[in-house]
């Protein structure tokens, strides 16, 4: 298991399966998991090609070191899994692609640091060089399977480990999540009511039984794969799309914009309906951060030609 650019939640998420982790660990031999083991890059480089049965890579690709390591692991592994939303889609850190790498470093560490960064062996160890932008794992190497989520839900982790350990893995390219949208798993009652205004989750006390989208809260359930049992909507928070788009939606933002456009209703006969609908849509706050919270990086790569292989 390897952790690239991300928060680290995915790296410990296998523990979500509870006591079943004992069965998982008894069925495998760990050869590389930096969070748990003191193995080094050189140890991995010394392994024969194809000698690792499966590697789970979590996090997006943000540095040149990330790129180097995932290519080494691809050579050493029979199966590579994009594990979690960042590896799968680019993740929240993919929103950094809205800015240049240089401006991000300047904001985080200050202009003085940016003007004279550390030099290895002189005034400290230099951090790995940043790539032009964040990209998901599949933009750098071939990915065999995806276990999505932020972090992956226990039930999807369990599906993957059962298939791996019992020897009945699905066809290459399989995403360990439902084909149907999250709305099919959500217990909230959906009426497809016209949206008259958009609200953020903290601005209302939502009806616990009614669809959040019907109440004006942007919930990505209509375009997001099921698999988490609607964990967030059950607790009154909207789905943000971490499991990734359904096949039908294709693109999270594009699919959601289409869904929202069909639900926005305004005006009476004789009124400027289009102007009122535009006003309602203008109520969306941080449109890119809301609709592309996890998936901007892949879109940025296709649109700009930056980063990647």
Q: What are the boundaries of each domain within the chain?
A: 2-176, 182-301
CA atoms within 13 A on the CB side of 239: 31
DSSP string, 159-220: HHHHHHHHT----TT-BSS-SSBGGGT--SB---PPB---B-GGG----TTB-TGGGTB---
How far apart are alpha carbons 31 and 11 in whole angstroms? 15
Position 102 scores a pLDDT of 84
Q: Taking the C-alpha atoms of 252, 300, 146 and 291 in order, what is their torsion angle to the nearest 10 degrees? A: -20
The answer to whether 287 and 293 are in contact (CB under 8 A) is: no
Position 282 scores a pLDDT of 77
Burial class for 174, CB neighbours closer than 10 Å (0-12, 13-18, 19+): middle
pLDDT tens by residue, the chain, 309 residues: 999 999 999 999 998 888 888 888 898 999 999 988 998 999 999 999 999 999 999 999 999 999 999 999 999 999 999 999 999 999 999 999 999 988 888 888 887 776 666 665 555 567 788 898 999 999 999 999 999 999 999 999 999 999 999 999 999 999 999 999 999 999 999 998 888 889 999 999 999 999 999 999 999 999 999 999 999 999 999 999 999 999 998 889 989 988 888 888 644 554 555 566 677 777 788 999 999 999 999 876 544 434 332
The answer to whether 57 and 137 are in contact (CB under 8 A) is: yes
Position 306 scores a pLDDT of 41
Position 304 scores a pLDDT of 46
Position 122 scores a pLDDT of 52
Rounded CA Rg of the chain: 22
How far apart are alpha carbons 240 and 219 in whole angstroms? 6
How far apart are alpha carbons 4 and 7 in whole angstroms? 9
Q: What is the CATH number of domain 2-176?
A: 3.40.50.700
| b/e 277-301 (16+ beta carbons within 10 angstroms → b) | beebbeeeeeeeebbbbbbbbbbbb
Rounded to two decimals, the pTM is 0.89
User: For 68-95, how does the pLDDT look when each residue is reduced to its tens digit (9 = 90+)?
Assistant: 999 999 999 999 999 999 999 999 999 9
How far apart are alpha carbons 127 and 120 in whole angstroms? 9
Position 307 scores a pLDDT of 38
């Amino acid at each position: 298991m390897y952790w690239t650019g991300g928060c680290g939640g995915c790296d410990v998420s296998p523990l979500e399966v509870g006591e079943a982790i004992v069965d998982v660990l008894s069925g495998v031999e760990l050869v590389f998991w930096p969070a748990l083991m003191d193995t080094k890059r050189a140890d991995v480089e010394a392994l024969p090609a194809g000698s690792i049965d499966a590697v789970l890579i979590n996090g997006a690709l943000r540095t040149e070191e990330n790129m180097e390591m995932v290519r080494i692991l691809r050579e050493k592994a029979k199966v590579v899994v994009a594990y979690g939303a960042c590896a799968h889609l680019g993740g929240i850190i993919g929103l950094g692609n809205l800015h240049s790498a240089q401006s991000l470093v300047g904001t985080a560490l200050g202009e003085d640091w940016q003007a004279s960064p550390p030099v290895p062996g002189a005034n400290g160890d230099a951090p790995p060089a940043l790539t032009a932008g964040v990209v998901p794992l599949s933009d750098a190497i071939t990915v065999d399977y995806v276990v999505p989520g932020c972090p992956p839900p226990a039930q999807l982790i369990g599906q993957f480990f059962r298939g791996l350990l019992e020897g009945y893995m699905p066809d290459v390219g399989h995403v360990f999540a439902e084909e149907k949208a999250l709305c099919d798993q959500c217990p909230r009652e959906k009426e497809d009511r016209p949206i008259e205004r958009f609200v953020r989750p903290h601005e209302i006390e939502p009806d616990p039984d009614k669809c959040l989208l019907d109440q004006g809260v942007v919930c990505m359930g209509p375009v997001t794969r099921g698999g988490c049992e609607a964990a967030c909507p059950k607790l009154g928070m909207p789905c943000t799309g971490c499991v990734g788009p359904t096949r039908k939606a294709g693109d999270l933002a594009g699919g959601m914009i289409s869904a929202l456009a069909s639900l926005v209703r305004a005006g009476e006969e004789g009124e400027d309906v289009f102007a009122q609908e535009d006003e309602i849509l203008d109520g969306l706050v941080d449109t890119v951060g809301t609709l592309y919270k996890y998936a901007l990086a892949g879109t940025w790569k296709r649109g700009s030609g930056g980063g990647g292989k």
